[in-house]
Amino acid sequence: MTPPSIAILTTGNELLNGDRTDTNTGTIARRLNECGFQVDMSVSVADSPDRIEAALRQLAQQVRIIITTGGLGSTGDDLTARAAARFSGQPLAVNEEALTMIRQFATRSGRTLESLTERQALLPQKAVPLPNSVGTAPGFWLQHQQCDLFFLPGVPAEMTAMFDTAVLPTLQRTFTAGAAVQRRKYRLFGLSEPKVESLIPYQKLPEGVDVAFALDYPQVIIKLACSKADADILLNSAEKLLYAALGEFIVGQNDDTMAGQVGHLLTRQKKTLSLAESCTGGLIAQLLTRQAGASTFLERGAVTYADSAKIDWLKIDPDLLHRHGAVSEQCAREMVRGIRRAADTDLAVAVTGIAGPDGGTTDKPVGTVYLALATDDIEQVQRYRFSGSREQVQIMTAHMALEWLRRYLLGSC
Amino acid sequence: MTPPSIAILTTGNELLNGDRTDTNTGTIARRLNECGFQVDMSVSVADSPDRIEAALRQLAQQVRIIITTGGLGSTGDDLTARAAARFSGQPLAVNEEALTMIRQFATRSGRTLESLTERQALLPQKAVPLPNSVGTAPGFWLQHQQCDLFFLPGVPAEMTAMFDTAVLPTLQRTFTAGAAVQRRKYRLFGLSEPKVESLIPYQKLPEGVDVAFALDYPQVIIKLACSKADADILLNSAEKLLYAALGEFIVGQNDDTMAGQVGHLLTRQKKTLSLAESCTGGLIAQLLTRQAGASTFLERGAVTYADSAKIDWLKIDPDLLHRHGAVSEQCAREMVRGIRRAADTDLAVAVTGIAGPDGGTTDKPVGTVYLALATDDIEQVQRYRFSGSREQVQIMTAHMALEWLRRYLLGSC
C-alpha cells in the first residue's frame, strides 16, 4: 500500500489579506513528513461557507485525507461546521459528546459557559468530535464518500495539540506511512547563500538525499533530508562531502547557536570573558546571556557609547581618541586591554565601528568595524567592512566576535 | 464593474514538507488589498508539472486572475513554464525578449551566462516576459481563455520587485479595484491577547471596521481595517473607542517600537541615559541602540553579571550584596544610584533578577525582577514576578524598563 494523498485546507480572511501568515500548514506538513506521510497540496480560502464547501468538494475528488484548520470559533466566524454539513449532506445537530467536552473544559479552566460557546457543539450529524485540550472548540472527524476529513481549530497551540493527540495517531493506525524523512541541519557562517549553494558537491551527493537552504541571518542553513531505508548511511556520506567542501564554514549542527557553543566552550574550559561593545550596543552580551548559565563565564560587559565611558571604565587615553577617533584600530586595542584589565578575565573582546545609517566618512564608511580579542597569549585587532542595514551590521559584527571566540576556544585561532 | 476574483498559486516541495513557510502569499495579498483588490483563495502544490497544471486548470475555472510564484529557477525545478505551456496548449519556445533580459541582467551584474540560465528564456509561445530587476529568471504573463495568469519567481525579493513593477500596474490599468483597505495598528503593553480581546468594545464599533490581533511578544497588536468610502471617519471613531477602553495600555501606533519612542523622547528632551543590567544581559541597551541616533542619549550601559563588576563599577557595598543578595531591592537601588553617578546622566535604569531556568528560591522564584529608575527628582524601585521562559522573562523585563522610561518622559510617571 502506498501512503494516502493528503491536502491541508486553511480558512480565514486574515490569511488572504496579508494580516497573518499561515503557519499551520507548515506545522502539520512537518509532523506528517516526520512520520512518513506527504502533503500533496494546501489551499486557503476566506471565511465563507460557500468557499469552504467548494474547496472541500474539489479537494475530496483529489485526495484521500483533508485536514482543515480554522473557523471553529464561537464568534461570528464558526463557518466550518456549516460548510462541512452541507458538503456531506448531513444536518447540523448538537453533538452530546462535544457538549460534554466543552462543559468539561469550562469547569477545568474555571470559566462560565456562554450560550455562544455551546454553538460549538453543533456538528454534522455523523461527525466524531475531537477533544481540545487547550481551548473550548472541539474539532471533528468526518468520513464522506472516499475521504477522511479532520477539522481542527485555527489557533496554532490548539491545532497542534489536537493534531498530535487525535489526528496523527488515527492516521498512523489507519494508513500505511512511507519511510519517515530523516533530517539534518548544518549552520554556516561567513558565506552568502548563493556562494554556499555553488559549493555544494551536488554531483557527488548520494541519490535520495535532498538539499534545501534557509537563511538565519547572518547564518546560512543547509538542510539535508532523506527518506530511503538506509537514510542514516546516505546522510553520513552526504555529511562527509559537505564537511569536505564547506567544513571550515560550518559552525554548528541542528539548533546549535554560535553563542550557545561559545558559552559551552567557555564553561567547559572554565574560562571567563569580558566585553566592551560600542557599535553593537550590548548585542554580544545579550546573545551570550540569552543562554542559561552565562553567569559562570561572563564577568561583565560594557556598552561604552560615549567617549567619557571609554575614558572612565576602559581607561582609554583621551589623546588617543582625539588623534585616531573612537572607531580606530588603536581604540579597539585599548578597549580590549582596558576591559580585560578591569574585569580580570581570561578572554576579552572589544568592538567599535560605524553601524550607520549615518556617521560614515570616506576613510571610514558605514559598516567599518574594528574587532579585538585579547587573552594571556594573544592580542589581535582586525578591521572589517560589513554591508547592509544598521541592524545587519550589528548582527554581523556580533557574530564575527562570537566566531573569533569560537575559533580561539577550539584552538584553531 | 466589480473587482476581479484572484487566486494565488505557490509552488515548491519545501512549502509542503514544512521546510519553508510561504510568505509570498501574504506579501501579494497585502499589496493587492491596499489597492482595493481581494484574494479569493490561495493554493500551494509540489514541484510537479502535473500538479501545477492541474491546479492551473482548476483555478482558471474559478477566478479571473491567477498569480503564481516559484518554479522559474535555472536548476532542476523550473517546472512552471512547462506546466503553463501544457495548460495553455502552447508550445515552449525561446522568447527573444526574455533572452535579452537575461543577457542584460548578466552584463549588469557582471556574471557569465551559463547554458542552464538560457533555459529560463523558454516560455509558452504567446507569453509576455516580465523583467526581473533582482535576479536572472524573467517572469511572464499569459492570457488564456477568460483568465490572466502571471508567473513570478519564488525568491521573495525577486517576486516582490516584479509584482510591484509589472503585475500591480497591469492590474490597475486593466481592472476596476474596489475601495482600498485602510489599516491602522495599535501596540499594547501590559495585557495578554485574550484580555485585550475581551476589552474591545465590539458592540459599539462602527460597522465596516474589522478588528484583528497579532502578538509581537510582549506586545499585543490590534489591527483595524476598513474599506468603506468614509473609512477615515469610521476608523477615527473606532480609534476613539479603543483609546477609551484600552488607552493606558496603548504604547504606540503602526510600527512605533517602545525603544524607538523612548529614544525619540530622550533626544527631543535632550536627556541622557545610563543603564545597569544584570538579568537582561544587555537587552535594554541593545533595543535602544538598534535605533539610529542612540549615541545622542545613551552615555553607557553596564552588563554587571558578576558581583565583582557590581562592586567595581557601580560601587555596591560588598556587605549589602552579602546581606541581601544581588537580586534584592537594596541592590537594585544601589545599582541605579551607582550607574547614574558613574555616568552622570539625567536618567538611569537598573535591573537585577532571576531569568531562570535555574537559580530560583522559595523567596525569590524564577521570574523575580527588581527594576529601578533614578532621575534628579525621583528614585523608584519595584519588585515584579514575570512568568515564561528565560527569554520571555528577559524580554518582558526589558520592555517594562522601557515602559517606565516612556511614562516618565511623557510626564505621567
pLDDT tens readout for residues A375-397: 999 999 999 999 989 999 999 99
Q: Is the dihedral of CA B311, B316, B318, B321 positive or negative?
A: negative
Q: Picking from A209-223, A349-363, B259-273, B293-307, which range would have the lowest pLDDT averaged per residue? A: A209-223
- Smallest CA–CA distance, residue A10 to chain B, in Å, is 10
Burial tier of A206 (Cβ tally within 10 Å: 0-12, 13-18, 19+): middle
- Sequence-ordered list of residues with C-beta below 8 angstroms from that of B88, at least 6 positions apart, any chain: B124, B126, B142, B144
Query: CA B199, CA A75: separation in Å to the nearest integer?
Result: 15
Q: What percent of chain B has pLDDT over 90?
A: 74
Q: Is the pLDDT of residue A412 over 70?
A: no
Residue of A42, A281, A292 lying closest to B358 (CB–CB): A292
Q: Is the pLDDT of residue B74 over 60?
A: no
- Smallest CA–CA distance, residue B307 to chain A, in Å, is 8
> What was the pLDDT predicted at B114?
62
Say if the Cβ atoms of A16 and B31 lie within 8 Å. Answer: no
**Phi, then psi, of B245 in degrees rounded to 5:** -85, -35
Give pTM, 2 decimals. Answer: 0.85
Question: B210 to chain A: which residues are within 8 Å by CB?
Answer: 13
- Beta bridge partners, B67, equal B8, B150
Q: Which domains does chain B have, with CATH numbers?
A: 6-174 (3.40.980.10), 182-253 (3.30.70.2860), 258-409 (3.90.950.20)
pLDDT band at A306 (very low <50, low <70, confident <90, very high): very high
Question: A21 to chain B: which residues are within 8 Å by CB?
Answer: 21-23, 26
Q: What percent of chain A has pLDDT over 70?
A: 96
Distances (CA, A) of A70 to A9, A95, A105, A158, B375: 9, 19, 19, 10, 50
> What was the pLDDT predicted at A13?
86
pLDDT band at A113 (very low <50, low <70, confident <90, very high): low
Mean pLDDT of chain A: 92
pLDDT band at A265 (very low <50, low <70, confident <90, very high): very high
Distances (CA, A) of A392 to A92, A262, A404, B39: 54, 21, 18, 33
Residue of A300, A305, A306 lying closest to B304 (CB–CB): A300
Say if the Cβ atoms of B292 and A356 lie within 8 Å. Answer: yes
In 10 A of CB A2, how many CB atoms?
Answer: 8
Q: Which three cell numbers stand for residue B321?
A: 550584596
Which residue is listed with cell 542514516? A232
Say if the Cβ atoms of A306 and B300 lie within 8 Å. Answer: yes
Say if the Cβ atoms of A303 and B298 lie within 8 Å. Answer: yes
Q: Is the pLDDT of residue B76 over 80?
A: no
Q: Is the pLDDT of residue B256 over 90?
A: no
**Phi, then psi, of B369 in degrees rounded to 5:** -140, 135
Whole-angstrom distance between the N-terminal and C-terminal Cα of chain A?
A: 55
pLDDT band at B115 (very low <50, low <70, confident <90, very high): low
Mean pLDDT of chain B: 92
- Smallest CA–CA distance, residue B351 to chain A, in Å, is 14
Which long-range contacts link A153-158 to residues 24+ away (Cβ below 8 Å)? A153/A69, A153/A70, A153/A72, A153/A73, A154/A10, A154/A11, A154/A12, A154/A24, A154/A69, A154/A70, A154/A71, A154/A72, A154/A73, A156/A23, A156/A24, A156/A27, A158/A132, A158/A134
> What was the pLDDT predicted at A75?
53
> What was the pLDDT predicted at A340?
98
Q: Is the pLDDT of residue A132 over 80?
A: yes
> What was the pLDDT predicted at A388?
87
Say if the Cβ atoms of B292 and A20 lie within 8 Å. Answer: no
Query: CA B304, CA B283: separation in Å to the nearest integer?
Result: 13
pLDDT per residue as tens digits for the range A43-84: 999 888 899 999 999 999 999 999 999 888 655 456 899 999
If you ran DSSP here, which 8-state letter would residue A208 be given?
T
| Closest among A355, A360, A364 to A389, alpha carbons compared | A355
Note the maximum CA span of chain B: 86
Q: What percent of chain A has pLDDT over 90?
A: 75
pLDDT band at B78 (very low <50, low <70, confident <90, very high): low
pLDDT per residue as tens digits for the range A158-205: 999 999 999 999 999 999 888 888 889 999 999 988 789 889 999 999
pLDDT band at A115 (very low <50, low <70, confident <90, very high): low
pLDDT band at A227 (very low <50, low <70, confident <90, very high): confident
Task: Tell me what the mean pLDDT of segment B79-106 comes to.
Answer: 91
Q: Is the pLDDT of residue A413 over 80?
A: no
> What was the pLDDT predicted at B19?
82
